[in-house]
């Protein structure tokens, strides 16, 4: 009986170690993903807040230079690779 | 729903309707790309030119310095992250200063130059361009303090309006750029060469971070590249790292690391190598590369002694010191 409980404790400890390792692995993966340069990156922004601040004049809707509409298939060609 | 491709920087973000580029401030609204911080700086200061740092460009002169929110790099050690890692809509402090007002403000403050700085002026390109045009017409100089992460066609177009740049060369290592800054090395090298080709006065800053980019062999390769591609008269500033933002696990750069880096770069052929963020270091000052005469003594951002002739020569041996002195 005592041996059974010791065995159970070992399994519990092993399980705890495994869960901890999985969490560490997930954390590191998430961190590494954050570090990767985003070649064709864009961001979701709080568009309502942006509109509000545009309307109040805090921000500007000046048209930018240096852009073009995406041509079909363009994104596939670049495949997210940063820095030409 | 039209997706737009921004051509400004090497990321070339593909931005769907309602999204922003990676920089957070170039936004696709109604199928047009908007520069949302145009004329809306979030930082305005009058700094000494030495703070940029530019040591061979109008020394001691005040420079009207501005920045908007946003950046196209994401340095773990960013010292202006409250400004650079936020979009315009997230900023509490936003001033209104269209290019003409900006130039007037600079003149009212008796500044001879405007510096586009603090975050990275690449991302507020249109504001820089239009302000620079008016500033130049008004007899002001334009100074571009950047990490140089920009595509060549827009940079070349802007260069015609720029007088000087301090460009941050964060490391001579692509892996460092990818892991620490979220960028790549080659576009920065291309930008530096473009500045030189377009006759913009160039100074280079390298922030030395303990264990990450302080390898002397790499510093030597970087110095050799600067000497070969930009000229041995190009000032190089080694700057001291202080732990901040997402990089608080490393200590400040030790003084002897800065000394060794400076010695290595000078041994590799560079004539003007400085040490920054260390007040009172002999590497704050400019010396004649021929006879060692103290030409400009600096303590922090202050000039305490100035011995250059009016045309920028050593008073003893008449060696011409490269730079724009007046």
Q: What is the mean pLDDT of chain B?
A: 97
Residue A29 lies in a domain: yes
Euclidean distance between CA atoms B242 and B235, whole angstroms:
22
- The DSSP secondary structure of B13-80, one letter per residue, reads -EE-TTEEETTSSEEEETTEEEETTTT--SEEEEEEGGGTT-SSBSTT-EEEEEE-S--S---TT-SS
Helix/strand/coil for B285 = coil
Residue of A nearest to B14 (CA): A40
pLDDT in tens, B5-26: 999 999 999 999 999 999 999 9
What's phi and psi for B14, nearest 5 deg? -100, 110
Question: Tens of pLDDT along B208-228?
Answer: 999 999 999 999 999 999 999
State whether A26 and A55 are in the same domain.
no
Q: Using a CB–CB cutoff of 8 Å, tell me whether A11 touches chain B.
A: no
Residue A27 lies in domain:
1-34
Please say if the pLDDT value at position A75 is more than 60. Answer: no
**Span B249-254, average pLDDT:** 97
Reading the block at residue B201, the tokens are: 């006065």
> SS3 of B160, please?
coil
Interface predicted TM-score (ipTM) of this complex, two decimals: 0.92
Strand, coil or helix: what is A42? Answer: strand
What whole-number distance in Å separates Cα of residue B127 and Cα of residue B151?
17
pLDDT at A35 over 60: no
- Does a structural domain hold residue A66? yes
Residue A84: what pLDDT?
26
Tell me which chain B residues have a C-beta less than 8 angstroms from the C-beta of A35. Answer: 178-179, 182
Q: Most A CBs within 10 Å: which of B8, B30, B32, B34, as the mutation test of the A interface? A: B34
Query: Which pLDDT does position B186 carry in this prediction?
Result: 98
Residue contacts between A and B (CB atoms, under 8 Å): 149
pLDDT tier, A9 (very low <50, low <70, confident <90, very high otherwise) = confident
DSSP E strands, B155-272: 164-168, 201-208, 236-240
Identify whether residues A79 and A55 lie together within a single domain. Answer: yes
Q: Do A50 and B4 make contact, defined as CB atoms within 8 angstroms?
A: no
Q: Which tokens in the block code for residue B56?
A: 């061979």
Q: Looking at the domain assignment, is residue A67 inside a domain? A: yes
CA B291 to CA B314: how far, in whole Å?
9
Q: Which of B1, B16, B18, B89 is the best substitution to test chain A (most A C-beta atoms within 10 A)?
A: B89
- Residue A11, domain member (yes or no): yes
| Cα separations in angstroms, B106 against B46, B130, B140 | 9, 15, 9
How many folded domains does chain A comprise? Answer: 2
Rounded (10°) CA dihedral B183, B185, B191, B192: 130
Q: Cβ(B169)–Cβ(B146) under 8 Å?
A: no
β-strand B236-240 against B201-208: which pairing, if any? parallel
pLDDT at A6: 75
Give the pLDDT confidence score for residue A83 in this predicted structure. 29
Does residue A28 share a domain with residue A3? Answer: yes
Residue A81 lies in a domain: yes
Q: Is residue A55 part of a domain?
A: yes
Q: Is residue A40 part of a domain?
A: no
Is residue A43 included in any domain, yes or no?
no
Q: Does A77 touch chain B (CB under 8 A)?
A: no
Do A52 and A84 fall within a single domain? yes
| Token pair listed for A41 | 């990156």
Count the alpha carbons within 13 Å of B290 in the hemisphere toward its beta carbon. Answer: 9
Q: What are the chain B neighbours of A63 within 8 Å (beta carbons)? A: 32-35
Mutate to test the interface with B, among A36, A62, A72, A80 (most CBs of B within 10 A): A62
List chain B residues with CB under 8 Å of A47.
18
């Amino acid at each position: 009986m005592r041996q059974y409980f010791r065995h159970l404790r070992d399994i519990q400890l092993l399980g705890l170690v495994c869960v901890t390792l999985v969490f560490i692995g997930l954390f590191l993966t998430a961190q590494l993903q954050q570090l990767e340069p985003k070649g064709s990156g864009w961001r979701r922004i709080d568009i309502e807040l942006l509109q509000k601040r545009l309307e109040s004049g805090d921000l500007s809707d000046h048209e930018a230079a240096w852009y073009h509409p995406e041509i079909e298939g363009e994104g596939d060609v670049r495949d997210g690779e940063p820095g030409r | 729903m039209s997706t737009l491709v921004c051509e400004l920087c090497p990321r070339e973000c593909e931005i769907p309707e309602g999204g922003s580029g990676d920089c957070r401030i170039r936004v696709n609204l109604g199928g047009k790309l908007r520069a949302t911080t145009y004329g809306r700086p979030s930082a305005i200061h009058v700094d000494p030119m030495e703070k940029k740092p530019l040591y061979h460009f109008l020394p001691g002169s005040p420079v009207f310095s501005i920045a908007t929110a946003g950046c196209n790099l994401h340095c773990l050690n960013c010292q202006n992250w409250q400004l650079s890692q936020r979009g315009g809509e997230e900023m509490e402090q936003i001033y209104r200063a269209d290019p003409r007002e900006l130039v007037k403000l600079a003149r009212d403050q008796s500044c001879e130059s405007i510096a586009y700085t603090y975050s990275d002026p690449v991302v507020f390109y249109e504001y820089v361009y239009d302000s620079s045009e008016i500033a130049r017409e008004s007899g002001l100089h334009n100074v571009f303090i950047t990490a140089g992460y920009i595509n060549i066609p827009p940079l070349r177009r802007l260069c015609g309006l720029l007088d000087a740049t301090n460009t941050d060369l964060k490391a001579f290592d692509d892996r460092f750029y990818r892991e620490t800054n979220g960028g790549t090395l080659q576009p920065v090298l291309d930008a530096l060469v473009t500045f030189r080709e377009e006759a913009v006065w160039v100074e280079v800053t390298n922030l030395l971070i303990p264990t990450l980019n302080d390898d002397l062999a790499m510093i030597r390769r970087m110095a050799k590249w600067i000497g070969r591609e930009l000229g041995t008269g190009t000032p190089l500033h080694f700057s001291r790292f202080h732990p901040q933002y997402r990089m608080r696990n490393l200590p400040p750069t030790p003084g002897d690391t800065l000394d060794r880096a400076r010695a290595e770069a000078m041994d590799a052929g560079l004539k003007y190598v400085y040490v920054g963020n260390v007040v009172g270091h002999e590497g704050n000052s400019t010396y004649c590369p021929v006879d060692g005469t103290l030409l400009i003594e600096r303590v922090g951002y202050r000039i305490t002694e100035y011995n250059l002739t009016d045309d920028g020569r050593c008073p003893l041996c008449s060696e011409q010191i490269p730079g724009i002195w007046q």
